[in-house]
Structure 1
Amino acid sequence: MTAWPATVLFAACTGRGIYARTRTDAHGFPRLRLPRIKQVQGFATGDLVRAVVPSGKNAGVHTGRAAVRSTGKFNIATFRGTVQGIHHRHVRLLQRGEGYAYQRHPEQGQTDASN
């Protein structure tokens, strides 16, 4: 009997940020400036984090990929959706973002390989 894994690991390229410091309009002229730093309060966009929010609209435990903002409030992309406005004091780093996003999915197809 052959044993197959119950879950499969998917990796997707997310990148490590961009060098450009402006956004342009349709004609190529600068529209707005981007922040000069890539880290805020020790966190960077793409880091895997866990936020334990004790009270408020976003109360609960949220685990996912962080999008940092210069205000110190982050967006966390979880498998249920995006949670916006989580303050950095509620966030704990699980893994630094190295340019990839990982997900585990259950194996599709046959669950029992018997001949």
Structure 2
Amino acid sequence: MLIERKKIVELTARGAIFYVSHSGGKDSQAMYCAITRLVPHDQIAVVHADLGEVEWEGVQDHIRATISHPLDVVRAGKTFIEMVDTGRRHGQTCHPGPPAQRDNAPAI
């Protein structure tokens, strides 16, 4: 952690902006808390990726209630299913791992 802290201090001194991705969960809250202890307020931006139909109701309100920065919300132009369908139409496939792992994997 010492090396990471040193790098954060160095980047802060150079004016870097730190983007904190915040889902609303405990890990995001912990990361936000850690960053706010090391980085000046005006060098932090908080971003939340809206999950559309599967977004938990009230998550954005929860995040806003637990941070002291504006919340920037981003949204994909397509749903996850639409992205998968687009990939399939373009011949893209998903594999569970590198070929060596797939070839030696036990049948399910």
- The TM-score, its normalising length taken from structure 1, stands at 0.21
More relative contact order, 1 or 2 (CA 8 Å, 6+ apart)? 1
